[in-house]
Every structure is written in C-alpha cells, then in structure tokens.
Structure 1
Amino acid sequence: MVSIVNCSRSRGQTRTGLSNFENVDEIADSKKYDLPGYAVLNTSKGNITIELFKDGSPEIVDKFLDLCQKGHFKGMPFHHVIKNYVILGGHSQDSGGIEDWTSKRKFHRQLPTSPKHEAFMLGTTKIKEDSKAFQLFITTAPIPDSNDKLYMFGRVIKGVDVVQEIEEVDTDTHYRPKSPVGIINVILQQVI
C-alpha cells in the first residue's frame, strides 16, 4: 500500500492554524517524523527507491518533498549521464555550476571519500537562494570533492540496477543522452 502524505513543515503553527512560537522546536521535531522517509522515482528504465536523510538535510528534504507534491519532477529528463560518475536531471538550462564540477571529475579521483559522498547517493546542486532551479542527481561513483557544490540528501536503497541501466545509455560528447531517459513521477512513502 502506497500512501502519499502531507509533506509541508509549517514552523510555529498549531493544529488550529494559529501561531504558537513558544513550541516551534517541539512542532518541528514532531513534524519531522511525520514526513515521508522514502521517495520512489518511477523512471523510464524502472523504479529507484531513495531513503531520504530527514535529519541530516532537513531543509533540502523539505524543498524536495514540496517540489514532489507540486509535480516538479514529473516528466523531468536526465540531461547528463556521465558513466562511473553521475546522472543529472532537471528542467533548468542554467547548468554553469554543474558544468564546473562535472568537468573536474577526472582530477580528484585520488581524494578520500566520506560516506556522504559514496556511490548511489541522491543530491542537488548548491544554487542561489533566488533561483527556482532544483537540479537532481544520483551519483554512480564516490564524489569526494563535492562539499562546496553539492548537497547529499538521500541514498538509493533499491533499484541500483536501474541506476546502472540509466548509466549505460548512449550519450553524445557532452554527456547528453541520445535517447530520452528521465523521471516519470515520484511517489512519497512513510515506509517501504
């Protein structure tokens, strides 16, 4: 049974909708546990189940959940597929920051990695506050030099084979898939 739940996190608001700023932390803590813990990305190659890091990246998870509810990822293409590195998706054509860190991938392979930067992690690029863009990526190898450019907010727990199948698509010299591949929709779940 799949349930889509209310993912908004309204700080300082009681059940009646009135503000109660004395209990903001209590409300935020209680709502953190009401948020979905998993996202199932239904892609053109199959399903990928992501465990979300609600505690480690709460603001990014909130934004991701909000965008899921608004249908932002429905029909989102993977616009760059770099074998043994990363799969990138998004609607924005502003990819300057992405080009910067993807072009440097070959020079930093020898750096140590933390668990945060393992393969099969879900993340987004660090973008300007006023930007409406939300790039989404799944790593297919450790990316140790990404702290200043990327937020990791989840990990693939099911569907690694699907990620690997996407990684195998033919691309042009700029890593753009020659045939369309992307996210059909996202289903949010409390439990798996």
Structure 2
Amino acid sequence: MSKWLFAICFSLVSQLAVAAVDIQKDNLYPVVEMDTSMGKIVMELDRTRAPITVDNFLTYVVKGEYDNTIFHRVIADFVVQGGGLDPNYKERPEGKPIFNESGNGLSNETGTIAMARENDPHSAIRQFYFNVADNKKLDPSSRRWGYAVFGEVTEGMDVLQKMSQVPTGENSELHWQDVPLTPIILKKATLLPRK
C-alpha cells in the first residue's frame, strides 16, 4: 500500500515538475512579457528561425531565472542588455553555452531581441539584449559570426526607448562602462498562455 502511495506521489510531483518547465515546445511563436521598473515589454519569439535560442531563453523565463535581475548595460541608440545579474551586480546561475543561430535570416534591427555573448561565437548563455537602433553590424557576414536574433518586441517599444536614454556611467566596483546610475529592474518575465 505504501509503495502505491509513493508511486502516485512521485508521479504527481514529476508531472508538476514537467509542467513547471513547460516552454510550449509546439508553439512556433511563443510570447513573453517582461514587467520592468520602467514599464512592460511584450515580445514574440521565433522558434522557426532560432529553436535552440528560444528554448534556452524560455527555460530561464519559466524557471523564474530572469526575475529580479537588472539591465546592466545601456547604450543610447544601440542596445539595452540584461538577464545575467541581480540588483547587487552578482552573477545569476548559468547553464551551458548554446550554439550560435545568427545565420537564421533575422537581423539586429530596432525592436528585436538577441543573445549577448563573448568573443567565442558559441558562448551565449543567458544574457540578452534589445536593439534600440538598426544594428546590422551585429549580423553575421561571410567573415564572422553574428549575434543571434530570436524575436521582436510587439508592445513596449516606448519603454525600451526610455530605458535607452537613462543616465549611465562607470560602475567603480566592477569597472564597467554604460551602467545605469539608477538600476533598471526586470521584476518578472512571464511566458504568456498561447492565444
């Protein structure tokens, strides 16, 4: 009897765990809402062009890994970057790097979201950025890898433009440039129910 009860409980817990990380694998264009300290941003992701990147990003979203993080790099007429640090500038846990899908036909145009990375083209993990200008120089060419775009903003472009204009400076502790003087918080990222 206790074996059956254990099996039922284990099955229920397993189902809840799977449901907790449901990234809508069969939804080609999932929608994510970001509630920030400056307003809401809604974006539609493109799994047809960037399946690895979308799955990676949504796993962080669904697990709540982007909640209470900051946009730590803001450059007017360029990008608004975040997703990797808490408000105390401590790195959040990271998974493994993903394959660079920058050759997918999507361009770093105003209002798109893409993966940040190091010099290694396949080093993107969890940090992302929004393009607040047309940044075609971030697209791939025959000589270099680009930065993988995986979606576009459908609501809240005005919020992103406001973010891109905040005063920034050097963070003396980390020796980083372009850090907002007043932190911009990503309070919560949510995968919205499919329509």
TM interval, short-chain normalised:
0.5 to 0.7
- Please state if 1:32 is matched with 2:26: yes
**Separation in 2 of the partners of 1:117 and 1:183?**
22
Aligned-partner SS, 1:59:
helix
CA displacement, residues 2-52 of structure 1 (integer Å, 9 cap, x when unaligned): xx98216xxxxxxxxxxxxxxxxxxxxxx433x661000111101000010
The match for 1:16 is none
Equivalent in the alignment of 1:58: 51
Output the CA distance in 2 between the equivalents of 1:5 and 1:190: 13
Correspondence for 2:134 among 137, 142, 158? 142
The CA RMSD measured in Å over matched residues stands at 2.8
**Counterpart residue identity of residue 32, structure 1:** D
Is residue 121 of structure 1 aligned with residue 112 of structure 2? yes
**SS of residue in 2 equivalent to 1:163:** helix
Q: Which runs of 5+ in 1 are unaligned?
A: 9-30, 95-113
In the TM superposition, structure 1's runs of 4+ consecutive aligned residues that sit over 2 Å from their partners are: 90-94, 125-133
Question: What SS does the aligned partner of 2:189 have?
Answer: strand
CA shift, 1:152, in A, is: 0.5
Identity %: 27
Confirm whether residue 84 of structure 1 aligns to residue 84 of structure 2.
no
Q: State the shift of 1:115 in Å.
A: 5.7
CA distance in 2, matches of 1:90, 1:65: 12
TM-score w.r.t. the length of structure 2 is 0.66
Gaps of 5+ in 2: 1-19, 92-104, 171-176
SS of the residue 1:122 aligns to: strand
Relative to 1, partners in 2 of residues 1:129 and 1:169: Cα closer, same or farther, differing over 3 Å? closer
Contact 1:5/1:36 (<8 A) preserved: no
SS of equivalent residue, structure 2 residue 47:
coil
CA distance in 2, matches of 1:132, 1:145: 18
Structure 1 residues 132, 123: CA separation in 2 closer, same or farther (over 3 Å shift)? closer
Cα 1:6/1:85, change in 2 over 3 Å: same
Matches within 5 A, 1:1-192: 6-7=22-23, 31-33=25-27, 37-91=30-84, 116-126=107-117, 133-146=125-138, 147=140, 148-172=145-169, 174-191=177-194
- Inter-CA distance 88–186: structure 2 relative to 1 (3 Å threshold): same
User: Residues 130 and 176 from structure 1, CA distance in 2 versus in 1: closer, same or farther, beyond 3 angstroms?
Assistant: same
- Contact 2:74–2:178 at 8 Å: present in 1 too? yes
Q: Which has the higher contact order (CA 8 A, sep 6+)?
A: 1
Q: How many residues align?
A: 147
Amino acid at match of 1:120: G
* Bigger CA radius of gyration: 2
SS at match of 1:32: coil
Per-residue CA deviations over 1:109-150 (Å, capped at 9, x if unaligned) read xxxxx8622101111124669968411100000111212241
Cα distance change on mapping 1:121 and 1:129 into 2, 3 Å: closer
